[in-house]
Amino acid sequence: MQEELKNDLDAVIGTICDNYRKDERYILTESDLVSETYLHLKKSGILEKYGLSLHTELRPFDPENDEIIRKKTWEKIVQINYAAKFDLALVDKKKMYWDLSRKRIAQAQTGTDDELKYWRFLLYPVESFRVVIEFKVRVKNNHKNIRKDITKMKVLTKKNKCCLKYLVILDRAASTTSINTIVEEIKKENDIHFFINS
């Protein structure tokens, strides 16, 4: 199933990359890229086929140890806003994951297991993450942030080896040297799938 999901995702992201190559006004900002990918994934049938839901800026947490990804490691939750988030995440829709998320959010908001102040869910159980996607539309002077995305994915793998990880970089102005440097860094992490168009 994992390989089939990867093939379906590759097709969707590949279409976006093809459209980017054909039309220089297609993607102008990172938000455009996130939105366009979100839209394509919604229309693709992938969510229904694999029982997934799609979200932006979701943060994985470990319910067993009450930990989040922070900087380069897993740390105890002090403040949810400090948790590392992913541009797009496809998570398993099973009720048990929803219940864990809702309970942890209620605890953060009200100190109870079921009472919410507002409907804003930032955390979702790490084991529910099936796919994470990070995006960049600028390479120049942005290597540090790209490295942070790679590190975040590497840390995620420590608690969820099954999650597919993608890095999508679309930047017409990127130099060949910059792109090659990034590709070499990504290749060190052999489980990160990447699409780079320059």
What is the rounded average pLDDT of the residues 38-46?
98
Q: What's the pLDDT tens digit per position in 136-192?
A: 999 999 999 999 999 999 999 999 999 999 999 999 999 999 999 999 989 888 799
Please check the confidence at residue 66 and state whether its pLDDT lies above 90.
yes
Q: CA 1 to CA 6: how far, in whole Å?
A: 9
Work out the angle at residue 84's Cα, subtended by the Cα atoms of residues 81 and 88, and round it to the nearest 5 degrees: 110
Q: CA 126 to CA 59: how far, in whole Å?
A: 8
Which residues form the domain of 130? 2-197
Please tell me the predicted confidence (pLDDT) of residue 80.
83
What is the Cα gyration radius of the chain?
A: 17
CA distances from 98 to 12, 28, 52, 63, 113 (A): 26, 34, 12, 12, 13
Main-chain dihedrals φ then ψ at residue 64, nearest 5 degrees? -70, -40
Domain count, the chain: 1
Please tell me the predicted confidence (pLDDT) of residue 198.
64
Q: How many residues does the chain have?
A: 198
pTM of the predicted protein model: 0.94
Please check the confidence at residue 196 and state whether its pLDDT lies above 80.
yes
Q: What's the pLDDT tens digit per position in 115-137?
A: 989 888 889 999 999 999 999 99
Please tell me the predicted confidence (pLDDT) of residue 29.
95
